[in-house]
């Protein structure tokens, strides 16, 4: 019996020490977590400045430090584009509007070609959807999309001019490309995307059959232009896509995947003329 009692006392002592050790470790872990949440994680933000314990607690919790009008509350989100796309923008314009657009397009031939098919790395505009051209010109005009030459040219256009240019280029025949069908072996990102990386298939918006309002026709576009735009969306250098639709796709694409998609859409049929 004395021996059993001594063993029980030893077990109780060991259990007590283990309990105290667990409490100490829990306290240490709590302090480290608090230091990481209130000090280290906020400090990695470029705009961090310590303004007291309450400010640090609000920042760590994701709440505004002030609900008043002192500018410390929720900031207004940046607007990627001011253009509202409507189905009416896709309607075919009358010949008079197209004719006026053809006259205005004389200023565009240096980069976009005499009939809207570029011989450089500027995008082809022939056969492009009218709402696409109207949106991009309006974004250039407002500065939502940046390009030294296009910002200057678009800034001088009225709403009527933009509608006329869009109608003219939409009336031209599209660049001829290699035939596309859903049965052929398309690149994976074009055909099915990558759901695990939140990348939708390109054909869901840019397909020859299924076209989302405002999504441009990509068939036959210059390869370098396509690659440059995908890289710009990936890095955020281009940000005029509503709701970050293209940035969300492109930021998860590798350089090799961008090249593969650009090569696919830039392909030409054997009979296509340059």
Q: What is the 3-state secondary structure (H, E, C) of the chain?
A: CHHHHHHHHHHHHHHHHHHHHHHHHHHHHHHHHHHHHHHHHHHCCCCCCCCCHHHHHHHHHCCCCCCCCCCCCCCCCCCCCCCCCCHHHHCCCCHHHHHHHHHHHHHCHHHHCCCCCCCCCCCCCCCCCHHHHHHHHHHHHHCCCCCHHHHHHHHCCCHHHHHHHHHHHHHCCCCCCCCCCCCCCCCHHHHCCEHHHCECCCHHHHCCCCECCCCCCCCCCCHHHHHHHHHHHHHCCCCCCHHHHHHHHHCCCCHHHHHHHHHHHHCCCCCCCC
Q: What pLDDT does 25 receive?
A: 87
Q: Residue 154's closest CA among 93, 265, 240, 230? A: 240
Q: What pLDDT does 32 receive?
A: 82
Which tens digit of pLDDT belongs to each residue from 150-188? 999 999 999 999 999 999 999 999 876 655 666 567 889
Distance CA 251, CA 236 (A): 8
Residue-number span of the structural domain to which 260 is assigned? 176-269
User: Does 134 fall in a domain?
Assistant: yes
Distance CA 234, CA 170 (A): 28
Q: Residue 131's closest CA among 210, 208, 216, 226? A: 216
Same domain, 223 and 140: no
Same domain, 145 and 157: yes
Same domain, 98 and 132: yes
Range of weakest confidence among 121-130, 236-245, 263-272: 263-272
Q: What pLDDT does 22 receive?
A: 87
Distance CA 257, CA 252 (A): 10
Asked whether residue 137 carries a pLDDT value surpassing 50, the answer given is yes
Same domain, 149 and 207: no
Same domain, 151 and 210: no
Q: What pLDDT does 274 receive?
A: 41
Same domain, 145 and 104: yes
The CATH number of the domain where 94 resides is what? Answer: 1.10.760.10
Mean pLDDT over each residue of the chain, to the nearest integer = 83
Q: What pLDDT does 183 receive?
A: 59
Distance CA 255, CA 251 (A): 10
Q: Which residues contact 218 (CB under 8 A, 6 or more apart)?
A: 202, 206, 226, 265
Whether the model clears a pTM of 0.85, i.e. scores above it, the answer is: no
Q: What pLDDT does 174 receive?
A: 86
Which tens digit of pLDDT belongs to each residue from 3-22? 555 555 566 667 777 778 88
Asked whether residue 272 carries a pLDDT value surpassing 50, the answer given is no
User: Does 165 fall in a domain?
Assistant: yes
User: Does 180 fall in a domain?
Assistant: yes
User: Does 38 fall in a domain?
Assistant: no
Q: Which residues contact 112 (CB under 8 A, 6 or more apart)?
A: 105, 118, 122, 123, 124, 125
Structure tokens that stand for 37 in this block: 């949440």
Asked whether residue 55 carries a pLDDT value surpassing 90, the answer given is no
């Amino acid at each position: 019996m004395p021996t059993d009692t001594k063993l029980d006392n030893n077990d109780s002592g060991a259990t007590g020490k283990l309990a105290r050790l667990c409490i100490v470790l829990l306290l240490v872990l709590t302090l480290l977590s608090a230091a990481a949440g209130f000090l280290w994680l906020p400090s990695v933000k470029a705009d961090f400045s310590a303004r007291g314990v309450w400010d640090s607690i609000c920042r760590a919790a994701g709440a505004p430090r002030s609900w008043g009008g002192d500018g410390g509350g929720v900031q207004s989100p940046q607007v990627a584009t001011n253009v509202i796309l409507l189905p009416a923008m896709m309607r075919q314009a009358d010949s008079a509007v197209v004719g006026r657009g053809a006259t205005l397009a004389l200023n565009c031939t240096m980069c976009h070609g005499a009939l809207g098919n570029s011989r450089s790395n500027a995008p082809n505009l022939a056969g492009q959807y009218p709402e696409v051209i109207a949106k991009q010109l309006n974004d250039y005009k407002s500065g939502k999309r940046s390009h030294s030459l296009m910002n200057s040219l678009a800034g001088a256009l009225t709403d009527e001019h933009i509608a006329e240019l869009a109608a003219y280029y939409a009336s031209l025949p599209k660049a001829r490309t290699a035939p596309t069908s859903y049965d052929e072996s398309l690149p994976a990102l074009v055909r099915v995307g990558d759901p695990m990386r939140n990348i939708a298939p390109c054909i869901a918006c840019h397909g020859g059959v299924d076209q989302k309002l405002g999504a441009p026709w990509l068939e036959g576009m210059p390869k370098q232009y396509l690659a440059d735009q995908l890289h710009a969306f990936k890095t955020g250098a281009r940000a005029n896509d509503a709701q970050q639709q293209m940035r969300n796709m492109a930021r998860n694409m590798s350089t090799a995947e961008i090249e593969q998609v650009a090569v696919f859409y830039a392909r030409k049929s054997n009979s296509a003329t340059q």
